[in-house]
Amino acid sequence: GAGVSQSPSNKVTEKGKDVELRCDPISGHTALYWYRQRLGQGLEFLIYFQGNSAPDKSGLPSDRFSAERTGESVSTLTIQRTQQEDSAVYLCASSLGTDLILNTEAFFGQGTRLTVV
């Protein structure tokens, strides 16, 4: 597709269950970012990938959160043993790279709305 695609668009899960959120970046984009946005709050950085490696995982809220990327393409954000405070919109973005020389913008998906009940 032409843009960043995220699935599912909505997910309702029971507390304690594991969830996987998927992001398909724009083809050729080497950088991929995950953000979380709680209701009424700003965007909270979680993790980014340069290629398949994640140089900065400092934003992951706890060890229940993990992410991987394969083939410099699709990325999966996994939340284990979900808690109610994990309820949020999870946004994925991609860009050509993080190198400032490229001076490029990041394109965002529409997000996955996660509700933990």
Partner 1 sequence: DAKTTQPTSMDCAEGRAANLPCNHSTISGNEYVYWYRQIHSQGPQYIIHGLKNNETNEMASLIITEDRKSSTLILPHATLRDTAVYYCIVWGYQKVTFGTGTKLQVIP
Residues near partner 1 (CB under 8 A) are 4, 33, 35, 41-45, 48, 55-56, 91, 93, 98, 100, 103, 105-111
For the bound state, the minimum distance from the C-beta of residue 35 to partner 1, rounded and expressed in Å, comes to 7
Dihedral sign computed on CA atoms, order 53, 57, 60, 65: positive
Strands 10-13 and 112-116: parallel
**In sequence order, what are the beta bridge partners of 114?**
11, 88
Q: Which is nearer to partner 1, 80 or 108 (CB)?
A: 108
For the bound state, the minimum distance from the C-beta of residue 8 to partner 1, rounded and expressed in Å, comes to 15
Query: Considering beta carbons, is residue 89 or 116 the nearer one to partner 1?
Result: 89
Nearer to partner 1, 43 or 80 (CB): 43
Q: Which stretches does DSSP call E strand in 9-71?
A: 10-13, 19-24, 31-37, 44-50, 53-56, 65-69
